Structure 1
């Protein structure tokens, strides 16, 4: 008992989860990302339609393009020479300096200009060709203007022949300039020129003429620039020549006025003399300072002896004093040596002392002379310094005046030199321009001339047809994807769980009826795939009632025509092999069970029994072919809902449950009326029939959700009329099981 209660609670929880999933709005799936698998499935499903649309687009396009007049394209290759290749750089004078890339881009834009195109028109005389002559426009066929009321028009302007020719040339210039295509080759100085025309000869002539006129126009422009530069240089040269002459005359006059003598380019002769005089003054000042210092030392030693005076460096360094000092020292040494041998009065000693005295006296006398000479040297050095100072100051003033004059002289000389350099520069340039003006090198050359095309460039029928076919494929695939994305029907078994969120009880294949049959019958071909599908559904119903047998099973659908009556008959026949089965046609609004059972249209049935016009036994008939008992709907009553809601109908079900092992009720669709909701309250289980690819998933969810609010026991959904053979082709999930195939193979 506890296990059964536990299973019941689990089933209740499962059914509540189903209600929550089913009652979810179908629009929630629309906000999800596009399912690529679903899109691919749609494309594969409509593949032959897509291919047909592609072929149709290709054929129509090919037929249309074949009627278009062919257009020929002629091409030539042009090479721009480097700017540095010119023999004479006239561009430095009359053109701006652009980067190399800008230069070549500019030249290619000039190539497409109207001025070059007009030169081509005049050179080829296109305005005189018959195909470009204006003619009268023929008015033929229907036109919208013919329906409008006539209005006054101003008379046409009369043009002279010259004006008509000019207007035609302007029109042809636009035609040539607009039709020329210039494609610059990357990382090179080359470009491909091409022109399209219905005349192959004309296309080649225009391309070649454009290249030639482009080169000729550039040469003419450069020659004209050379002539302009020559004229400007000549005018400027005459002005510079006059300026040079005036500056030279001013320099000459200044030298004459100042009395300057120009010797080998040197005019400054006093600078070196002043430098020498400054050096002599410095030497005299140094001598005077030395003499003054010696004199000061002597004056600080009044009454000094000869030995003290000889201690002075100036006296000691005197050359004569040094010699006398050596003589004195020699005499003193001789006296000392003789004193050791002779006595004081010996004549030799007396002679030696006499020599010593003479040497000492000579030394003293010379020291006095040197002392007297030092004072005299100081006086001479002082006077010499003073004289040199006076001379230096005088010469300095003279030199300052001369520097002023020399500054003015140098300024005039600079003017002369500047004017001479400008004159020489312009003179050299004008000679170069004049001599090189006749040697202009073309700035471009034709690498490959255009040839007359042998085959048309357009229209390309094959390419246009292929493009149209591809567009047809894309359009067809897009339409198929849109149809699939907006199609919310249940098309395959996987959609039952994915879209509806309820279990799949089984799938009934689409069968073609034979003979007089109006529906596939289980008992007609027991070993067929349809019968095998019915047995699978039977197994699912039996497995769902392991704990509590389901005596009353309600079979319904969303809308009419989904095959619920057919399922009731076949499922009942399958169950009748094991049980005593009764089927009741409870669709009292559009009954179809009696016809499918082979009963008469007025056969007694449910409406007769509930209304009391017939007994229960009279309303039930046994079907010998299928082995089941059937109670058809009977006549259509005026109040079907009140009839199935009556107490008598409930009592009849209770009585029949005792007579039969199982009762299958064929109910009206849930979307049309509420009869199914009333019948669901009597049923132990509900089987919901969905026709594949027919009913909107939102309506199915709404119908199942309404049933689950009344009866929680939903066995599952049966997908009816599913074309499994086409599904194997349409869907990429790999071959749905073909019912009956296994048993046939075993046979």
Structure 2
């Protein structure tokens, strides 16, 4: 026979037997031995529906707890203040001032720094001290000394301050919580004032440090400057150096700064002038003599020349009338010759005087030039000697100039620091001050109710899920497939009691009857041969509805025209009762010669017969372990179309295993919400060990909503809870 028991695959999973899967069309999936594949949405809805009262109780408890907490919580008032933060623009160094346009102060970093400073304990301490909160008994009480109360006040201010860092912009918003609206607004505003004062104080302290540093540097530089100046003067006195320069800082030292240099410059200028005069005199003497003598001669002989010209003109006029040897003509000629002699004499005298004058001037200029050249040569040697002796002087002079420049620069920085260190505009200003709160911030009844509702719902769901997995049971069709790896033959709804259950079975249109009809239909396709000839109905434990299911399946087959025998093989706790206890399975097992038909009785259902269990034996397992039960089963299977055996539970007893090894086919019954997964798996493993073919599982007492069947309206379980025996009454015609 085939066996559809879940078997391990070596990895901790359980595999469904292929035969049942193929016959019933169920998808083969790995099944964990602990049960289930996980928590999906459908499973969550089922858990919520099953544990709804627990979840509602947790929600109600959360709401009530929220109301109680709201009533017991001391009111807390919140005040809000808005500050504007502007990065500082005061720069101390010129280089920083020049670079400020490009580098600048990172506004975001500065605002973030201010947020951290505002949240610091030092601001809380300053605010507590400014308001004298240590002596405010309404805020810190009267216990402890002053220092202890001050520490308490600082802790309360720090804990009540909530600073909100801006995502963008330069506005910082913060709130302060206190049990008094007046204290809330007062402390919130004081924190803003203390924060601004703290910024100003830090700024002043920073500039004071810079001033102290500069004062030290100025004093040191002043000493260096005085020392270098003394060394310069001493060296100049020792070397006889007199510097006539302007003394401007940074000017390069030259030879003109000494007396010798100045004299050399003056002499060079005079020498240049003398050379120019000598060159001019020489030129005049050598090339300009002729030009200069002619001019002088012309000036001195001009009268004589005019007289001669007059006489010459008269002589020419008279020549037309007189001969040259005429006395008048001879007289005029002698007079003209005399004037020519006078002109020659005057010309010679004038030319000789001009030449002598130019020569004298040339000689004087040459002498002056040669004298100046000698003086300049002497001064050049003196200046060159002074230059050699001024090297050390220049070195000392440069040191003096450097120290003086450094000293002046430090003085200038000191003045700038003094200006920057003054109390100027604060980088923090108050935009909105805190107003007196009109209502408490906490407790918030609506928020507490929502929180209580949410926490209660979460706790309820968590508890439901925890209980669901703590008490891991089979509840739905999917659980049967996934946790047990079996085909679910059907799900039977709950009913209200025994009488109603029997009435439901008699009515083929009832919901319970329809549900078992679906189980019967599944059984018709559970084997290769179709409907099994013999069928064992068992369960993990007692009270799961196996006897009711055995009766319902048998009644459904009988209603369809098949002759059905129901055998009550539970020899310990039988579920079916006949009119007489002198017949039954026990009598057959203990008697060798009695035929089986003599222990079969008719029931109130047509075509349904019963073989009761008979009297309770002291050793049921010993009776069932003999070959007699196999003989009995062979006999009754030849008499009836179907034989259904109501077997005892599997766990803890050997009866069901012995019966299953003979019958061969098992329908496993599982009570919804009661049967533990591990127990069911263990029972299936034990049944599988007998070689029986487990056809599938029937889910009883199900609260699952099965489409249009409306199973939730029915209650089922009175039969197995009370273990009431069912009286099988035969028809009047069958006596």
Q: Counterparts of 1:319-338 in structure 2 under 5 Å?
A: none
Partner of 1:590: 573
Structure 2, unaligned runs of 5 or more: 15-30, 98-103, 247-252, 269-374, 714-735
Partner of 2:361: none
The DSSP-based 3-state class of the residue aligned with 1:604 is coil
**Alignment equivalent of 1:41, drawn from 35, 41, 45:** 45
Q: Tell me, in whole angstroms, the C-alpha distance in 1 between the residues paired with 2:13 and 2:218.
A: 96
Q: CA deviation at 1:627?
A: 4.0
**Alignment equivalent of 2:89, drawn from 65, 84, 103:** 84
The DSSP-based 3-state class of the residue aligned with 1:517 is helix
Cα deviation digits, residues 246-274 of structure 1 (max 9, x gap): 54454444444434454555642699999
Q: CA deviation at 1:623?
A: 1.6
Partner of 2:334: none
Structure 2 residue 611 is the aligned partner of structure 1 residue 628: no
Equivalent residues of 1:689, 1:719 under 8 A apart: yes
Q: Counterparts of 1:660-671 in structure 2 under 5 Å?
A: 660-671=640-651
Tell me: CA distance 1:448–1:579, structure 2 relative to 1, closer, same or farther (3 Å): closer
Structure 2 residue 571 is the aligned partner of structure 1 residue 571: no
Q: CA deviation at 1:183?
A: 3.3
The DSSP-based 3-state class of the residue aligned with 2:59 is helix
Partner of 2:66: 61
TM-score by structure 2 length? Answer: 0.66
Q: Tell me, in whole angstroms, the C-alpha distance in 2 between the residues paired with 1:489 and 1:511.
A: 20
Q: Tell me, in whole angstroms, the C-alpha distance in 1 between the residues paired with 2:427 and 2:199.
A: 7
The DSSP-based 3-state class of the residue aligned with 1:710 is coil
Equivalent residues of 2:85, 2:170 under 8 A apart: yes
Q: Tell me, in whole angstroms, the C-alpha distance in 2 between the residues paired with 1:432 and 1:713.
A: 103
Q: Tell me, in whole angstroms, the C-alpha distance in 1 between the residues paired with 2:58 and 2:32.
A: 33
Cα deviation digits, residues 84-125 of structure 1 (max 9, x gap): 248999x99xxxx99776665555555455555454344434
Q: CA deviation at 1:222?
A: 5.0
Structure 2 residue 450 is the aligned partner of structure 1 residue 466: yes
**Alignment equivalent of 1:692, drawn from 660, 664, 672:** 672
Q: Tell me, in whole angstroms, the C-alpha distance in 2 between the residues paired with 1:59 and 1:220.
A: 52
Tell me: CA distance 1:468–1:449, structure 2 relative to 1, closer, same or farther (3 Å): same
Tell me: CA distance 1:262–1:551, structure 2 relative to 1, closer, same or farther (3 Å): closer
Q: Tell me, in whole angstroms, the C-alpha distance in 2 between the residues paired with 1:550 and 1:429.
A: 111
Equivalent residues of 1:496, 1:502 under 8 A apart: yes
Partner of 1:175: 156
Equivalent residues of 2:35, 2:484 under 8 A apart: no
Structure 2 residue 587 is the aligned partner of structure 1 residue 608: yes
Partner of 1:448: 432
Q: Tell me, in whole angstroms, the C-alpha distance in 2 between the residues paired with 1:571 and 1:454.
A: 75
Partner of 2:352: none
The DSSP-based 3-state class of the residue aligned with 1:425 is helix
Partner of 1:525: 507
Tell me: CA distance 1:254–1:465, structure 2 relative to 1, closer, same or farther (3 Å): same
Cα deviation digits, residues 622-675 of structure 1 (max 9, x gap): 123444221211110112223234454444444434433333222222223212
Equivalent residues of 2:135, 2:149 under 8 A apart: no
Partner of 1:126: 133
Tell me: CA distance 1:525–1:449, structure 2 relative to 1, closer, same or farther (3 Å): same
Q: Tell me, in whole angstroms, the C-alpha distance in 2 between the residues paired with 1:177 and 1:551.
A: 84
Partner of 2:273: none
Q: Tell me, in whole angstroms, the C-alpha distance in 2 between the residues paired with 1:575 and 1:566.
A: 14
**Alignment equivalent of 1:702, drawn from 682, 685, 692:** 682
Structure 1, unaligned runs of 5 or more: 1-11, 137-158, 278-390, 729-734, 742-747
Q: CA deviation at 1:459?
A: 2.0
Tell me: CA distance 1:501–1:444, structure 2 relative to 1, closer, same or farther (3 Å): closer
Q: CA deviation at 1:417?
A: 1.9
Deviates more, 1:657-666 or 1:552-561: 657-666
Tell me: CA distance 1:674–1:261, structure 2 relative to 1, closer, same or farther (3 Å): same
Q: Tell me, in whole angstroms, the C-alpha distance in 1 between the residues paired with 2:503 and 2:495.
A: 10
Partner of 1:268: 255
Tell me: CA distance 1:411–1:727, structure 2 relative to 1, closer, same or farther (3 Å): same
The DSSP-based 3-state class of the residue aligned with 2:7 is helix
Tell me: CA distance 1:590–1:187, structure 2 relative to 1, closer, same or farther (3 Å): same
Q: Counterparts of 1:291-690 in structure 2 under 5 Å?
A: 401-429=385-413, 440-513=424-497, 517=499, 519-520=501-502, 523-544=505-526, 547=529, 550-577=532-559, 578-594=561-577, 599-600=578-579, 602-612=581-591, 619-683=599-663, 685-690=665-670
Tell me: CA distance 1:125–1:409, structure 2 relative to 1, closer, same or farther (3 Å): same
Q: CA deviation at 1:231?
A: 7.5
Aligned residue pairs, count = 567
TM-score by structure 1 length? Answer: 0.65
Cα deviation digits, residues 465-488 of structure 1 (max 9, x gap): 212221222222222223333444
Structure 2 residue 700 is the aligned partner of structure 1 residue 720: yes
Q: Counterparts of 1:198-217 in structure 2 under 5 Å?
A: 198-217=179-198
Q: Counterparts of 1:64-75 in structure 2 under 5 Å?
A: 64-75=69-80
Tell me: CA distance 1:576–1:117, structure 2 relative to 1, closer, same or farther (3 Å): closer
Q: CA deviation at 1:607?
A: 1.8
